[in-house]
């Protein structure tokens, strides 16, 4: 199996995630786009792990670590969004301008 199509699709997922972060207005949707980016990185890691046939399996191990960190990140991110929603009654990212100069 040729590796390049999988890598290109992973790059496409990454750029779609960037597009979602830039365009979406709802904070939860931005977190969804971040998950898309992390997923594309996972695909890259697994593809290179299979391609290089590493004896230490570092691609798979890093993917497991990334999945764990992503779960923690979603928990913290949603807690922050929830607190902002409680204070401002909105999840719209344009309204969170407290730290904007």
Partner 1 sequence: MEIFEIVTYFILLALLSTAIRVVTTSNVIHAAISLVFTLALTAILFLILSTEFVALVLVLVYIGAVIVLFLFGIMITRAPLGKNAELDNDKNKKLGAAISGAIFLLFSYILINGFNGNVTITSGSSTELLGEILLTRFIFPFELVSFVLLAALIGGITLARKDEALIDEDQV
What whole-number distance in Å separates Cα of residue 5 and Cα of residue 53? 19
State yes or no: residue 95 binds partner 1 (CB under 8 A): no
Nearer to partner 1, 94 or 101 (CB): 94
Instruction: Sort 85 into a burial class: Cβ within 10 Å, 0-12 / 13-18 / 19+.
Output: middle
Note the residues at the interface with partner 1 (CB under 8 A).
1-9, 11-20, 22-29, 31-33, 35-36, 39, 42-43, 46-47, 49-51, 56-57, 59-61, 63-65, 67-76, 78-83, 85-86, 91, 94
């Amino acid at each position: 199996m040729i590796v390049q199509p999988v890598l290109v699709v992973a790059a496409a997922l990454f750029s779609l995630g960037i597009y979602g972060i830039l365009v979406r207005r709802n904070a939860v949707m931005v977190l969804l786009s971040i998950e898309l980016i992390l997923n594309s990185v996972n695909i890259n890691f697994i593809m290179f792990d299979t391609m290089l046939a590493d004896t230490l399996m570092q691609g798979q191990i890093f993917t497991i670590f990334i999945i764990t960190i992503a779960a923690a990140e979603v928990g913290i991110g949603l807690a922050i969004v929830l607190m902002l929603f409680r204070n401002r009654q909105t999840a719209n990212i344009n309204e969170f301008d407290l730290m904007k100069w």
